[in-house]
């Protein structure tokens, strides 16, 4: 913060350099407004995704699946982490330069705290800067939650997802507490690198929100890769024992143990708001710390907006991006966009192969009393999808829930190669009311994964 005055003002102040904040900052500067963005860490320019989230983890997915058996596991892993560091450093620098290089934008590094509803301070003592603005955007993201398990917090083998994307030491035994998206992604990544991996999930099965057949197929793929998946497991204690931790858990009324050289809690994330002093700004938060917002992402102070994970919504980069669109529509648009406009938002679990979902599950559709048809095929049985064979990945399934009365897709679960791409086409079809008949009769490139739609819907629909 050298060479900066002790008091600054801007048209818009953005607190946090995440996807939503930086997208809004760029658009607002392009619209002629003076923007100041405050980020507490120089290691987080650009937000979670390019630094410790999407980019490094998906890069590790690529490296892990590209490893050959002849490769030394430790050397290959260290080389992979170096590759991740190189890319994330380039992204971080690019994000900073792209915004700070604009004439009407300034990036300040330091921890922000509110003085009142229009003012924050950054830094301490002689380095303290006061910043005021009529409009403020909060985009401080989320952080991992460490569950209250005796011995866990003090364990020398406790790691978080950020540390796992940065350390060059491949753990021999990784125990993951929690079988959600983050936990399963890291379990899959590290197993492919050669680590012995155990997943402890409290629910009786993985992915309880998905249909039983989909969750079972995921479980079979993970266990087939050598991951020890233990469901119905309640972790009761962690005890350090030199080079390992002993994780004690209960299952079916009995006590069991598993050793870990690295222990990853993957039981959720919480909004980063504790040190912002939001009370000084009159901004209310929910009991879990997330900022309360309306459908236009306005807080209890109408000139203060909350974008991304910090507002308690779905914790995905593309949701933060859409948050920016909504806020920009309020600030420099016609003010019509709201969170209620979101339809058929897709999700992807980046195991190998990935699981991508959108819309209703079969269980949800039947519980709602809808008249449905189900189109389901194992990837290995889809003749018109040779791409799966060309890349030697024929595991998984494709499942579609269809409204029997309208021929429209209500939901889908794709566990297959390229699922993260195909789900976007399916989501677009749902939003624009494209029938399965039209999807069946559409021309797709060959060989591609999308052409599986030709066959899946052909088997279900009359010619």
Residues involved in catalysis = 446
In this structure, are residues 238 and 412 in contact, taking their beta carbons and an 8 Å threshold?
no
Give 105's contacts (C-beta < 8 A, 6+ positions apart).
25, 29, 34, 35, 36, 37, 99
CA dist 80 and 60 (Å) reads 7
User: Which of these, 126, 178, 127, 170, lies nearest to 152 by C-alpha position?
Assistant: 178
Give 69's contacts (C-beta < 8 A, 6+ positions apart).
none
Give burial (CB, 10 Å; 0-12/13-18/19+) of 32: exposed
Tokens of 331: 């600030």
Residues in the chain: 463
CA dist 271 and 269 (Å) reads 7
User: Which of these, 350, 371, 295, 304, lies nearest to 331 by C-alpha position?
Assistant: 304
User: Which of these, 133, 132, 163, 129, lies nearest to 146 by C-alpha position?
Assistant: 163
CA dist 286 and 306 (Å) reads 13
Fill in the DSSP letter of residue 325: H
Strand order in the sheet with 234-241: 234-241, 244-251, 254-260
CA distances from 165 to 128, 134, 168, 272, 318 (A): 33, 38, 8, 20, 21
Quote the crossing angle between the two packed helices 181-193 and 73-100, to the nearest 10°. 130
User: Which of these, 10, 14, 9, lies nearest to 324 by C-alpha position?
Assistant: 14
In this structure, are residues 375 and 458 in contact, taking their beta carbons and an 8 Å threshold?
no
CA dist 14 and 281 (Å) reads 15
Buried b vs exposed e over 98-112: b needs ≥16 C-beta within 10 Å?
ebeeeebbbbbbbbb
User: Which of these, 420, 306, 411, lies nearest to 356 by C-alpha position?
Assistant: 420
Pairing label, strands 119-122, 112-116: antiparallel
CA 364 to chain centre: 23
Tokens of 176: 């993951």
CA 299 to chain centre: 23
């Amino acid at each position: 913060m050298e060479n900066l005055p002790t008091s600054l003002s801007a048209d818009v102040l953005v607190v946090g350099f995440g996807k939503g904040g930086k997208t809004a900052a760029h658009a607002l500067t392009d619209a002629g407004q003076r923007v100041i963005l405050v980020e507490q860490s120089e290691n987080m320019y650009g937000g979670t995704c390019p630094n410790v989230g999407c980019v490094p983890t998906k890069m590790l997915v690529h490296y892990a699946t590209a490893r050959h058996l002849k490769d030394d596991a430790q050397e290959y892993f260290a080389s992979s982490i170096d590759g991740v560091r190189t890319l994330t450093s380039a992204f971080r620098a690019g994000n900073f330069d792209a915004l700070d290089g604009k004439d009407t934008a300034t990036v300040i590094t330091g921890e922000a705290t509110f003085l009142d509803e229009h003012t924050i301070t950054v830094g301490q003592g002689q380095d303290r800067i006061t910043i005021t603005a009529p409009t403020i955007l909060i985009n401080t993201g989320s952080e991992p939650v460490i569950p209250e398990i005796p011995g866990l917090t003090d364990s020398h083998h406790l790691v978080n997802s950020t540390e796992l994307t940065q350390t060059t030491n491949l753990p021999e035994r990784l125990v993951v507490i929690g079988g959600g998206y983050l936990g399963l992604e890291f379990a899959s990544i590290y197993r492919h690198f050669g680590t012995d991996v155990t997943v402890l999930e409290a629910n009786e099965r993985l992915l309880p929100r998905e249909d039983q057949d989909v969750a079972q197929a995921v479980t079979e793929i993970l266990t087939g890769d050598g991951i020890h998946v233990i469901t119905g497991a309640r972790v009761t204690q962690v005890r350090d024992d030199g080079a390992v931790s002993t994780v004690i858990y209960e299952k079916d009324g009995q006590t069991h143990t598993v050793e870990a050289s690295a222990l990853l809690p993957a039981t959720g994330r919480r909004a980063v708001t504790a040190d912002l002093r939001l009370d000084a700004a009159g901004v209310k938060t929910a009991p879990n710390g997330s900022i309360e917002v309306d459908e236009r992402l306005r807080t209890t102070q109408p000139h203060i907006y909350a974008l991304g994970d910090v507002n308690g919504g779905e914790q995905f980069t593309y949701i933060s991006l859409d948050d920016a669109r909504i806020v920009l529509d309020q600030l420099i648009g016609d003010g019509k966009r709201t969170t209620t406009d979101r339809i058929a938002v897709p999700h992807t679990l980046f195991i190998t192969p990935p699981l991508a979902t959108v819309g209703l599950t079969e269980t949800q559709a039947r519980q709602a009393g809808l008249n449905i048809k189900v189109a389901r095929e194992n990837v290995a049985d889809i003749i018109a999808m040779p791409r799966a064979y060309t890349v030697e990945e024929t595991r998984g399934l494709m499942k579609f829930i269809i409204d029997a009365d309208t021929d429209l897709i209500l939901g889908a679960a794709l566990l297959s190669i390229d699922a993260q791409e195909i789900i976007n086409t399916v989501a677009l079809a749902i939003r624009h009311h494209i029938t399965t008949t039209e999807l069946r009769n559409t021309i797709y490139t060959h060989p591609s994964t999308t052409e599986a739609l030709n066959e899946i819907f052909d088997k279900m629909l009359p010619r």
